[in-house]
Amino acid sequence: MGYDSYLFQKGLGIIVMKELKKYQKIALITLCTLASVSFLYVYYHICNDSYDFNMFLRTLFTVAISFTAYFFITKFHAFFEKHYIKIVAAFLGIMLILQIIFGYFLEITPQWDFENIYKGAISWAETGTFPNPSDYFFYFPNNLGGMWGLSIIFRIAGLFQIQNYSMAATVVNALLNVTMMLLCFCICRKLASLKTAIFVLFIFYGKPAFLFWSRCILHGCFDDDLPRPVLLSVPEAAGDRRPEMADPLSYSNGTDRLDWHDH
């Protein structure tokens, strides 16, 4: 009786995981479809409002390059499977250096939201309080988190007699950006495949804005990197733990149990 119950639990676990895999694929296809439709909708209105043939050519060129890159990754999948750790490490290292270099030569004058957050963080780090011009933070309390994070960076920089707060925040922002890219790679590898994850790295390199992103110490850029570890935990919990097939040899002493193994 106990062994039959054990087999039933094993079989039920396998069925549940198969169903979860099926709904996971449906959700992924749905999200990709919505993203594609949204892009085509916005692109259509851009072309309709201000048609530019050169813009259309650039779009075709980008699509062609993307398909070529994906075909290359697929064709040499065995190479990427064998050396992907080295490839990812090299990508992250080069991207970090480039972001810091571009951030050093790119100067941005704080204005609007950025000005309130940046100057407030400096004041908070140096005096323990911060100004609230025109009750800005009463209307936009969501920006207090970014200002608090910057103030901690500025306090640490002050301990080492670093007065260039902007560059200190740029370096930290570059580290956060690279961390975000690494997590995006891990999430895509778990939810899709290795070649999809490698293709995501290609997208990061193919978009010049990412090279200049480190200097944009905005709340939208600075805070967006922090929730991604939570996203990583979702496929870790849902996709990496699945039941093994029932093994009569693992049954002992009439104990009913469902063993879960990490893969």
Show me where the domains of the chain are located.
52-131+138-251
Share of the chain above pLDDT 90, in %: 20
Burial zone of 86 (CB within 10 Å; 0-12 exposed, 13-18 middle, 19+ buried): exposed
DSSP notation for 148-199: HHHHHHHHHHHHTT---HHHHHHHHHHHHHHHHHHHHHHHHHHHT-HHHHHH
Q: Which long-range contacts (CB under 8 A, 24 or more apart) does 241-250 make?
A: 242/13, 242/14, 242/17, 243/10, 243/13, 243/14, 243/17, 244/10, 245/10, 245/14, 246/6, 246/7, 246/10, 246/11, 248/3
Question: What is each CA distance from 26 to 16, 19, 30, 31, 33, in whole angstroms?
Answer: 15, 11, 6, 9, 10
Mean pLDDT is highest, among 16-20, 88-92, 203-207, for 88-92
pLDDT reported for residue 72? 92
Question: What is each CA distance from 169 to 174, 221, 248, in whole angstroms?
Answer: 8, 12, 58
Least confidently predicted of 21-35, 91-105, 165-179, 248-262: 248-262
pLDDT reported for residue 4? 52
Start-to-end Cα distance in the chain: 30
CA-wise closest residue to 226 among 165, 171, 147, 146? 146
Q: 108 pLDDT band (50/70/90 cuts)?
A: confident
